[in-house]
Structure 1
Amino acid sequence: MRRSNFEDQPVDYAAVGATQAHDLMQYPPHGFVPYEASIRLGSGAERFESASTSLLSWAVQRGAGLRVDDIQSGEGERYGGIRYAEDGSALEPIHLSTEQRFAADGTPYVASGTTARLHGRIGMFRLEENIRVVYLIEEPDVVAFAYGTVGGKRVSGEDSFRITRRDDDSVWFEARSFMRPLALRYRLFPPAMTMRRKRLTTAYLRALSPLWTGPAT
């Protein structure tokens, strides 16, 4: 009998895909703390395409200083999550693509259901997480994906990353998340978890925009 590992396990929270909810910041899943920040990356189709390619090849995580190991392609359609309308209401389940693609260095692209291990240190915070990609969106002007924690030890929740080309041709990168504390230090001192989330998000945004110094709107 094969021993179960995290690739066999679902994410450890119920609100799968809720980083898409329009009202996430006002009404996060119960017990979770939301956070979001965004930055303009430039403008034009070429900038959108290059940023999207970087996003889907794990460049955000690696550029933030993390290692992305044990990438395993997903199977089936169990972790698609729900697509949300602009008013925050839930629509249809997200269709999952099983097509496997690779970056120039052979790294598997992000795909729905993919599992991986993230580990490393960003500032004073150490990150060691098993994650599963819960949705992937590839549309003409939007490329986005999110992953959730699997068997989390420090925190539990979901991170999403979105590249958008707006009507004025500007290209934006947005990072959103909702997390609940698991480690004792974060449960006893909630500001530490907020500080951790801000530091991680800053590192993610800087990975695509080295000039980033603070959240934009």
Structure 2
Amino acid sequence: MSDEQPILRRSTHVDHEVSYASVGASQAPDLMKYPPVGSTPFEEEVLLGSGEDRFMSATSTLMTWGAQKGANIEIELVDKGQESKYASISFRDTGLPEGPKENEQLFAPDGTPYLEAGHLVNYRIGDEDVRSMRVISVIDETNRVGFIVGSAAESDIAGEAFLRVEMRSDNSVWAVARGFFYDARKGSKKLLTKSGVKKEIARVAEQLHALTPVVQATINASSSEEE
């Protein structure tokens, strides 16, 4: 059986301005077997429900940083990147690229703009933990939408996560995350265990669970009470 990756109908990609190598390896079919050297790969998925409405709702939430916000990660947009560097590419059914096209800004039903490739953001986790993150790619397919986000500055843990929502052939809707992290410290500062990496992977899993209808309903109820 071939390990060919699915044909992208539209993809936007960034190949620089991050703090790690093997950019985009989270999309590799053999990631779990052959991860980037020294890294720990991961793959998680959570059932969100079924049907087109659930897919569209979850997609809208994911592409407006809803997974992160639902996991208590505050998002601060630092830089939108240079649009000319991050042009979208369309693919024919044969898999051949048709060439770069002008980016199309997409919006959630409430008017919130979707995140875009090239965006540099800060993840604020608690009072002191701040991570600089770059959106590497934005994936927009008929039944699969998501993005890759990777570390953009030196930190204890580096790597990337590919977060997506997909609707499968049985109409079930899933939130999926895969990627890799590694301890970026040098010498004596390098962690003796993988606890830091495990914590980062667990944080990604929390983001997936934040997309479930129950969690989203709780978040919406809390927002209504605050208003």
TM-score range, shorter chain: 0.7 to 0.9
Q: Cα distance 1:196–1:95, how it changes in 2: closer, same or farther (>3 A)?
A: farther
Q: Counterpart in 2 of 1:18?
A: 25
Q: How does 1:1-217 map to 2 (within 5 A)?
A: 10-75=17-82, 76-77=84-85, 98-103=103-108, 107-121=112-126, 127-183=129-185, 187-209=190-212
Q: After the TM superposition, which parts of structure 1 deviate over 4 Å for at least 4 consecutive aligned residues?
A: 91-97, 102-107, 183-186
Amino acid at match of 1:179: F
The Cα RMSD (Å) is 3.2
Structure 1 stretch displaced more, 52-61 or 110-119: 110-119
Per-residue deviation at 1:49? 0.4
Any idea what SS the aligned residue of 2:204 has? helix
Q: CA separation in 2, counterparts of 1:201 and 1:100? A: 26
Displacement after TM superposition at 1:171 (Å): 0.5
Amino acid at match of 1:175: A
What SS does the corresponding residue of 1:31 show, helix, strand or coil?
Answer: coil
Cα deviation 1:104-151 (Å, max 9, x = unaligned): 6765421111111111139xxx74211111111111100010111111
- Normalising by structure 2, what TM-score? 0.73
Shift of 1:72: 2.9
Moved more, 185-194 or 94-103: 94-103
Alpha-carbon contact 2:147-2:164 (below 8 Å) kept: yes
Q: Percent identity?
A: 34
Question: Please, what TM-score do these two structures have when normalized by structure 1?
Answer: 0.76
Specify whether residues 129 and 197 from structure 1 end up closer, same or farther in structure 2 by C-alpha distance, changes over 3 A only: same
Q: Secondary structure at the match of 2:30?
A: coil
Inter-CA distance 159–44: structure 2 relative to 1 (3 Å threshold): same
Give a deviation string over 1:153-187, Cα, whole Å, max 9, x none: 12111111011100011111111121111247983
Q: Assess if the C-alpha contact under 8 Å between 1:186 and 1:193 holds in 2.
A: no
Mapped to 2, the partners of 1:189 and 1:79 lie a distance apart of 42
Other-structure match for 1:215: none
CA distance in 2, matches of 1:17, 1:95: 18
Gaps of 5+ in 2: 1-15, 216-227
